[in-house]
A and B are shown apart, each in its own frame.
Chain A
C-alpha cells in the first residue's frame, strides 16, 4: 500500500504519523515544495523577529523521517490524475499512489485592489512569504498592513519590532469582529496604540499606488486619502491552496476548498482532503473550511483513520481557540457570537443572548462570558491565561452564570504571583 500525502504541515504530518503507527510496512510519501522539514506555521513570526530560528520551529528532530521511513518529494505538484492514481509534477515527473491525502493548506487571499500585483505587496502565510518579507522589510520603511485579523496583528508587531512605522488598516469599525465585541476590540486597539501602531478602523482600501520605479508609494483609501507606504502586507484572510486542482476530477467549493464528506473523502476515489483546504460541515450546519492549527491537527489524524478503513465522521467538538495580540493573550471557548458584519452592519445574536463583561482598570485585561438565558455558553478572555478544559466542561454541564463566576478562579492558568480573578463592581451584564 502506498499512501501519498500532499503537504508537509501539521495536518499531513499528523496523518503520516498515524498511518505509520497502524501500518508498519506501508509506503508513505510526503510531498511538499515548501520545506524539507515539518515546521510550525504559527511560529513564522518568531523566526522573522529573531526570537527563534527556523530550526527551532521544527517540532520533531530531523531523523524522524528516516525513523518513520517517510519518503519525501520536494517538488511542486502540477495536477492530480485521480482516475490514474498519480500525482503529476511540474516538469512532467509522476508519482503513483494507492491512496492520496490532500493536506495542502492555505495561501494568503490575493489582494483584490488595483495595483496590487507586483513588488512590495506581501503576504504572510508560507515560508516563501516569510523570506520575501524578510528580504524587503528594512528599518525606516513605512509599512501598511491591511486586514483586521490574527495574521495582520502579528505582521504589524514584527514589522514594528524591526523598526518600520506601521499603519494598520482595518475595514470594519472595530478590530477582529469575528471574535471580539466592541469593548474587547477597543481594549486591543488601545494596546496596539500603546505599542505605537497607527490603527485606522472602518477604512476601505481602494488601490495600491505605485511610484515611477514600480514600488508601492501609498495605499489609496475610499474617500481619497493616501496612506504613504513603501511596503504593503495584505492580511485579509487565507484561501485554500487548491489552484492546481482546477480541471481535476475533484469537486471544489465556490471558495476553492475541496468538498469532502464526513469521513473527509473527496468526490474522487481513494482521495481524501483535510485541514485548511477541506470544506467541512460546521456545528451550525454551514460548509466552510476550518482554517485553524488545532483543527488541521485533528482532521489529519481523522483522515488517516478514514484512509485506513475506520468508520469515522469528523465532528468539531466545542470550539476553542487562542491567539496573541502583541502582549495580550486571548483564550476563547464555546460559542461567542459575531456581532458585526464585514460591512459594519450589526448582527443580532438572538433572543436571550447576553454578555457578562468586565475590564480590569489599569491593565489590558478583560473577561467576557456569553449567556443564553441563564446558561453560560461561551467565554472570551483577554490579557490573562485560562484553561479551556474546565470552561468547556462547564458549558457541557449547562452551568449558570452565578455558578461559573463563583468557580471561575479554578480555571485561571496564569503564572504564579499574577493577580487572581475577581468580580469587579464595574462588571455588567448587557
Chain B
C-alpha cells in the first residue's frame, strides 16, 4: 500500500460527505467575496477581505489573498512531503513548486511594489495571465520584462512542452497547479474518470482557449483602431471585462478552487486553463509520455483513482499502451502509487521495446 493514502475513503472531508460540501461552499463563497467585494444580494454590505487585510496591517486584500494562498501551499506542501516524500520525484517537485510560489508568486511582486515598480508575476504567462500580452501591460513594462513575457509565452513554453511535457509548467511552476498539488492533495481522487467527463473536458478547455485567443485579438484590434471606432471600443472593453470576470474570477477561482472537495483538485486545470490547453496540444506531439510496462498490470485501479486529471490510466496499463494524453500534467502520482511499478514518466525519443497494444473495451485510447 501507499503510506499516506490509506484511509483516504474513510475521511468524511475527502469522500464528499457533509463536511466536504460545507468546505466547498465556504471556499466558493470566500472567492466570491474576494472578487466581488460587497454582495448586497447575500446581505454582505462591506468588503470582508479588504477589511480583513486592513485589520492585519496590509494595504490590499490581494496581498492578504497572496499570503493566505502561499501559506496554504506551504502547509499543503509539508503534508505532501510527509506522505509521499519517499518518492524523490514528489519530494523535489513539491519543494520546487512551493519555492516558486514563495519567491515569484508572492515575495518578488511585493518587493517590486516597495521599490515603486509595477508588480509582476514572473511565474505567470499569457494565456493563463491573459493581460500579460495585452498592449496596455506590454507598453507599461521595462524591456526585460517584456522580453521575458514574449519569449516565455511564444518561444520557451512551446519548446519546453515539446521536450518535457506540460508538467514543466503545470506541476513544477504554476501556482494554480501548485495549490492543487499541495493543499488540494486530499481531494485528488475525486476527479471523474468517466468517458463523458473526458468529452466535457475537451469541449470546455478548448472553448476557453478559443475565448482567450479571441479576447486577446479583440483587445489588440481595439488598441489599433479603438480611437476611431468608439462603438467597437465599448464592445472590446466589455469583452475584456467579461473574460476577466467569468474566466479569471469565477472559473479559475470560485469554481477552480471552491470545487476541490467535490470534483477533485484540478477542476480549473482540467476544464478551463487555456495555458494547459495550449501546452497539452504541444505535449500530444512531443516526447513526454507515461511508459507502460508490458503485461504487469493487476488492474487494481490505484493509478486511475489518484489521477487528478481524471485520466483512466488503468485502461492504458491493461492494454500495454503508453499514456500520451493532452490532459496529463505529469504530477507522477500514478507511477508513485502503482503497487507493481508499471508506470514511468519519461521524455525521450525511443523506448526499449515497443508495446503490443491489446484490446481496449472501456474508452477510446
Contact = CB atoms under 8 A, between A and B. Distances in A.
A52 interface: yes
Interface string A44-57: 01100111110011
Contact of A389 (B1, B340, B353, B361): B353
B304 A56 contact: yes
B314 A324 contact: no
Interface string A278-318: 00000000000000011000000000000000000000000
B298 A415 contact: no
A329 B339 contact: yes
Contacts of B332: 415-416
A29 B193 CA distance: 28
A222 B302 CA distance: 41
Contact of A50 (B6, B341, B352, B362): B6
Contacts of B117: none
A71 interface: no
B342 to A, nearest CB: 9
A42 B341 contact: no
A61 interface: yes
B7 A415 contact: no
Interface string B291-324: 0011110111110110000000010001000000
B86 interface: yes
B9 A50 contact: yes
Interface in B48-92: 86-89, 91-92
A43 B88 CA distance: 25
B8 interface: yes
B5 A51 contact: yes
A61 B86 CA distance: 33
A329 B340 CA distance: 7
B287 to A, nearest CB: 14
A43 B299 contact: yes
B341 A21 contact: no
Contacts of A418: 87-89
Given A52-B305, A390-B353, A385 B7 contact: no
Nearest to B335: A415
B345 A415 contact: yes
Given A50-B6, A51-B6, A385-B341, A60 B302 contact: no
Nearest to A292: B298
B87 A40 contact: no
A158 B1 contact: yes
A251 B242 CA distance: 76
B42 interface: no
A327 B3 contact: yes
Contact of B352 (A42, A46, A52, A387): A387
B357 interface: no
A53 B9 contact: yes
A49 B335 contact: no
A238 B43 CA distance: 66
A58 interface: yes
Contacts of A17: 359, 361
Contacts of B188: none
B344 interface: yes
Interface residues of A, number: 50
A157 interface: yes
Nearest to B6: A49
Contacts of B91: 417
A322 interface: yes
Q: Main secondary structure on chain A at its contact with chain B?
A: mixed
Contacts, number: 132
A51 B339 CA distance: 12
Contacts of B345: 415-416
A50 B7 contact: yes
A293 B340 CA distance: 12
Contact of B299 (A40, A53, A64, A393): A40
A161 interface: yes
Contact of A59 (B2, B9, B318, B339): B318
Nearest to A40: B299
A374 interface: no
A190 interface: no
A250 to B, nearest CB: 29
B19 interface: no
B352 A389 contact: yes
Interface in B1-22: 1-3, 5-10
A73 to B, nearest CB: 21
> In this complex, which of B195, B318, B335, B339 has the most chain A Cβ atoms within 10 angstroms of its Cβ?
B339
Contacts of B295: 294
A40 B298 contact: yes
A162 to B, nearest CB: 9
A411 to B, nearest CB: 8
B166 interface: no
B362 A157 contact: no
B118 interface: no
Nearest to B337: A51
B362 A64 contact: yes
A45 B1 contact: yes
B300 A43 contact: yes
A100 to B, nearest CB: 23
Contacts of B7: 49-51, 161
28 contacts: A17-B361, A40-B298, A43-B298, A43-B302, A46-B1, A46-B301, A50-B8, A52-B302, A56-B301, A56-B304, A57-B300, A58-B301, A60-B361, A60-B362, A68-B361, A161-B1, A161-B7, A329-B339, A388-B293, A389-B353, A411-B352, A413-B293, A414-B344, A415-B87, A415-B335, A415-B344, A416-B345, A418-B88
Q: Top 10 A-B pairs ranked by shortest CB distance?
A: A385-B341, A43-B300, A417-B88, A59-B299, A40-B299, A50-B9, A50-B10, A50-B7, A42-B298, A49-B6
Interface of B: 1-3, 5-10, 86-89, 91-92, 189, 194-195, 293-296, 298-302, 304-305, 314, 318, 332, 335-336, 339-341, 344-345, 352-353, 359, 361-362
Given A56-B305, A61-B362, 4 more contacts: A157-B1, A331-B341, A389-B294, A390-B352
Interface of A: 10, 17, 21, 40, 42-43, 45-46, 49-53, 56-61, 64, 67-68, 157-158, 161, 293-294, 320, 322-324, 326-327, 329, 331, 385-390, 393, 410-411, 413-418
